[in-house]
Chain A
Amino acid sequence: MTTALIGFAVLLALCFFGFRVGFATLIVGFVGFALERGWLASLGMVAQQVTEDAQNYNLSVIPLFILMGTFIYRSDISRDLYDAAYAGLGRFKGGLALATVLACGGFSAVCGSTLATAATMSKVAMPQMKAYDYSDKLAAGTIAAGGTLGIMIPPSVPLVIYGIIAEQDIGLLFIAGILPGMMLVLLFLLAVSIMVRIDPASAPAAAALEPERKSKALRGAMPVLVLFVIVLGGIYGGIFTPTEASGIGACGAAVIALLRGHLRTFAEWRLCLVEAAMTTAKIFIVLFGAVVFTQFINLSGMPYDLLDQVDAWQLDGPGLVLFICLIALLMGMVFESIGIIVLLVPVFLPALYATGVDMIWFGIIVVLVTEIGLITPPIGMNVFVVKSVLPQVRLVDIFRGVGFFIAALGLGLIAVYNVPQIATFLPSIAR
């Protein structure tokens, strides 16, 4: 246990000092394993782990869903999604902000990237909200928080990575994310309503959408719904495996982009494909580091020592999950979602299995906690993305603006924690 704790301390120090997360995890795992078993054994372990993961067919779901998101991102569909959402919610107070939440939910359902959702919506929704004098706090806060929906609403890369690490069915995890994702959208809509009620001046009334633009938007947004239903419906109905669904989804997204007048040149195709490949490489180097580090942690016996500790503290399953949530919340202040999942989940796996925790439910819980980390200071990735797209908005205003959404996410977490069926109901039918 001591060796593992030293390993964790060194790793955290390296990450905090700016060493690249993937490389730091890989080297700490390699050295730690070597100190326990020898350098040759450690070299063999790294070779085996990296080769296995790099050629794991099930992991091809990651680049293909990223590609699907990239095509959707480049298809310029966000404008229609936003207008369609506004057509439905525009009549309410704070309608533009409410529409932003709904559009973020819709966009992330086919995009899967929180950062891309926040960046896109910053460009689409912010000019509209500024035109009607919405406060920066409400407008930018809504966009930063709305972007986080992508991590829960399937397809979600963090859920895939959790599924691989915890050896859970990725399809079931996606299905499990549907109801919590929808609940979060509702909670975010509620958060906007409360913010507007407290400070009505932050959201002056905006003009209704012209009928022509309304019908154009609804027609334009329809393909997103169709793609979502095909991908998720295919997985839910047992027609596709998640990997197959990702291939179908990527091709479908390319067709949508083509029909919308994009991807008509070689350069456009190249841009999307390169973007997806680069994001894939970035994620996989963290994944390689994580699997190597996990081998070291397992060898050190830490997961089993933790299991003994859980027994000694007489923690039951929910108690253990609560304990993990607290650690994940702290980590979320500095690490991004994938980092938290790959470092935290393997350590607690034996204890989670021993206490009989439903691993699908736990997956949703852990992803929800990492979602909070995307907008909490000091390092809230989505807040920084919005700031980079909207440099005129003060960082402090965005952080103040996400306050109510953090509370909404907290409420969502409490709800899923206390009523696990929110996450497990749909998978139980699919099983």
Chain B
Amino acid sequence: MTETTAGREGFVRGALSRTLATLETISSVVIFVMMILTFIDVIGRYVFHKPIFGGTEIIAALLALTIFSGLGVINARDDHITVELFEGPVSRLVSPVLYEIIIQAFSVLAMGLVAFVLFEHAWEAYHLGKLTEVLEMPVYYTTGTVAVFAVISLISQITGVVLKISDLISGNASDAS
């Protein structure tokens, strides 16, 4: 590997690592706020007879943000639920690199589909001027943010996949040498 390539790869790894740390922080803040809001909502409802106005809508929006900010990290680390019954034999049969490329391309395709439909959904909500029922807040605030996170998830996933395959290839090369 030339020094330029190594430097470029190091930059990409650093950028990915910082992005994932940011996504982790966002997801942790969001889930914390969700917990506190739910708690305050319950106490407000039962003790003071005054629940948080639109609490349900806010918590629902926070749920979506938790999922999609977390998904960015899960995607990049390829930490998804798998069955792994024939993974070993199939991987050896078709070569580990090719196997990984096929598996990861499929995952990227699926995440791309999710990001695309979410973006389209947010765009539609924006054009129709849809509002939420209680807070009467534009729906696209949430759907748009979720779509942005889905796109970030997709980008971090692609970056993670490329780095993983690059590691596999260089591992194979060093094994061969």
List residues of chain A with CB under 8 Å of any chain B CB.
14-24, 26-27, 30, 43-44, 46-48, 50-51, 54-57, 59-60, 63-64, 67, 239-240, 243-244, 246-248, 250-251, 254, 269-270, 273-274, 276-278, 280-282, 284-286, 288, 334-336, 338-339, 378-379
| Residue of A whose beta carbon sits closest to that of B58 | A57
Q: Is the CB of B91 within 8 A of A248?
A: no
Main SS at interface, chain A? helix
Chain B nearest CB, measured from A396 CB (Å):
18
Query: What CA separation (Å) do A140 and B56 show in the bound complex?
Result: 44
Nearest 8 A/B pairs, CB to CB: A247-B38, A281-B70, A273-B28, A23-B110, A277-B27, A18-B87, A47-B117, A20-B80
Residue from A57, A60, A270 having most chain B Cβ neighbours under 10 A: A60
Chain B nearest CB, measured from A267 CB (Å):
11
Query: Which residues of B from 122 to 177 have beta carbons under 8 Å from A?
Result: 142-143, 146
Q: Is the CB of B81 within 8 A of A282?
A: yes
Query: What CA separation (Å) do A22 and B109 show in the bound complex?
Result: 12
Inter-chain contacts of B62 with A (CB < 8 A)? 60
Partner of B27, one of A20, A54, A269, A273: A273
Query: What CA separation (Å) do A248 and B38 show in the bound complex?
Result: 8
Given known A-B contacts A21-B83, A273-B32, A60 and B67 have beta carbons under 8 A apart? no
List residues of chain B with CB under 8 Å of any chain A CB.
24-25, 27-32, 34-39, 41-42, 45-46, 56-57, 59-64, 66-71, 73-74, 78-87, 90-91, 99, 103, 106-107, 109-111, 113-114, 116-118, 120-121, 142-143, 146
Q: Is the CB of B34 within 8 A of A60?
A: yes
Inter-chain contacts of B56 with A (CB < 8 A)? 57
Inter-chain contacts of B143 with A (CB < 8 A)? 51
Inter-chain contacts of A51 with B (CB < 8 A)? 64, 118, 121, 143, 146
Chain B nearest CB, measured from A136 CB (Å):
24
Q: Is the CB of A46 within 8 A of B114?
A: yes
Given known A-B contacts A27-B106, A55-B64, A57-B59, A240 and B42 have beta carbons under 8 A apart? yes
Inter-chain contacts of A24 with B (CB < 8 A)? 106, 110
| Residue of A whose beta carbon sits closest to that of B100 | A18
Query: What CA separation (Å) do A286 and B83 show in the bound complex?
Result: 12
Chain A nearest CB, measured from B26 CB (Å):
9
Partner of A280, one of B31, B41, B116: B31
| Residue of A whose beta carbon sits closest to that of B109 | A27
Q: Is the CB of B86 within 8 A of A26?
A: no
| Residue of B whose beta carbon sits closest to that of A25 | B110
